[in-house]
Structure 1
Amino acid sequence: MNTLPRINFTHTGTFCADLDNMVDFYCSKLGFVVSDKGVASTGHRLFFMTQNPEVHHQLVLFDGKPVDLPFNPINQLSFLLDSLEDLQRFYQFAKANGIGPIDQVDHGNAWSLYFKDPEGNPIEMYVDSPFYTAQPCREPLDLEQSTELIRTQTHAMCLRRPGFQTRAEWMQSISERIAEQRVRW
């Protein structure tokens, strides 16, 4: 019996109305570097961008986005950071560099901050917490507090909600469900 191979999401591409401005924002405000650039077979200029030397591109920006769309088709672009301390450092950087408004959110299973890029695309910077709670969950977060206090508050909030698990317990249960799904394939 065949089993479904593991799928890893690695990058996204988005069209831009002002490509040069968007490349500048992602490089100067989010720390990406251009790993390649050129012209696609469709004639669109494009920039491949990364923050990880092991990944050629995490983001591809194309020109050609219509400026008269009735709504923004991008719900959000989410970027995982390594630690709560990194999220706090990015929050301080964002405030100091005029990125905003910034919305800080405790999801229970993750701590997040949200803001928009120059074309209004929502961006989430987040880090996983050591807890699991059912989603959606949206509670206030104050990244000016100590990491110890943030962890304590999140733990207490998650314990009050139904279905509390540690992240490790949740990961184990999801691993089992994924294994079952692969066998069905």
Structure 2
Amino acid sequence: MTLSAQLTHFGIHAVDLDRMVDFYTRVMGFVVSDSGVGRSGARVFFMTQNPECHHQFVLFDGRPADVTYNPVNQISFRLDSLDTLKGYRQALIAEGITEHRVTDHGNAWALYFKDPEGNPVELYTDTPFYTPQPCGEPLDLDQTNDQILATTEAMCRGRPRFMTREAWMQSIQDKLDAR
């Protein structure tokens, strides 16, 4: 028997739950699909952007304000297009979140920022290319989509083991089938 698991959602604890729910609904575009109080007594908000998925993201009360490190390494959201990535950048700027790291990973274009509680967030969209990771080159989202695509393709073709995203996906499927 082959085991397969698909990541569908994740949850984090918040210091200021109401502020976090506001940010992720108003700025990030999630809707609250359910809310209540869990068995532990913590308030919980289930959020989604997909009507086929009850929740993709869950926020809980209970993160201590005095924790000396951020227990969240990264929250990543895959977007449908470069235009959507650019749109989120503008929404973040309008929200006053102007500290961004914009990166061309070769296989993805990404925008990194911190949410209201300092959690690292990545917004990304896939490119049509594969290049070995880690890879992180500067990305200028003020360029046209065609300029960005051409720059990324040239960068990827100059690195070892270049292939299209489709070829890479097939190589992963082959590995999965061989299990």
Structure-2-length-normalised TM-score: 0.97
Aligned counterpart, 2:2? 3
Gaps (5+ residues) in structure 1?
none
| Alignment deviations for residues 41-92 of structure 1 (CA, whole Å, 9 cap, x no partner) | 1111100011111111011100010122221111111101111111112212
Q: 1:115 aligns with which of 113, 116, 119?
A: 113
- The more displaced of 123-132 and 64-73 is 64-73
- Tell me, in whole angstroms, the C-alpha distance in 2 between the residues paired with 1:99 and 1:178: 40
CA distance in 2, matches of 1:171, 1:54: 24
Counterparts of 2:178 and 2:8, CA distance in 1: 24
CA contact (8 A) 1:100 1:116 kept: no
Please point out which of 49, 66, 69 is paired with 1:68: 66
Aligned residue type for 2:115: D
Kindly indicate whether structure 1 or structure 2 has the higher relative contact order, using CA contacts under 8 Å at least 6 residues apart.
1
Counterpart in the other structure of 2:143: 145
Which residue does the alignment assign to 1:84? 82
How many aligned residue pairs are there?
179
Instruction: State the Cα RMSD in Å.
Output: 0.9
The structural deviation recorded for 1:93 is 2.1
1:134 corresponds to which residue?
Answer: 132
Q: Distance in 2 between matches of 1:93 and 1:56?
A: 25
User: What is the distance in 2 between the residues matched to 1:84 and 1:118?
Assistant: 24
Aligned structure 1 segments of 4 or more residues deviating by more than 2 angstroms: none
Identity, in percent, stands at: 58
Amino acid at match of 1:94: L
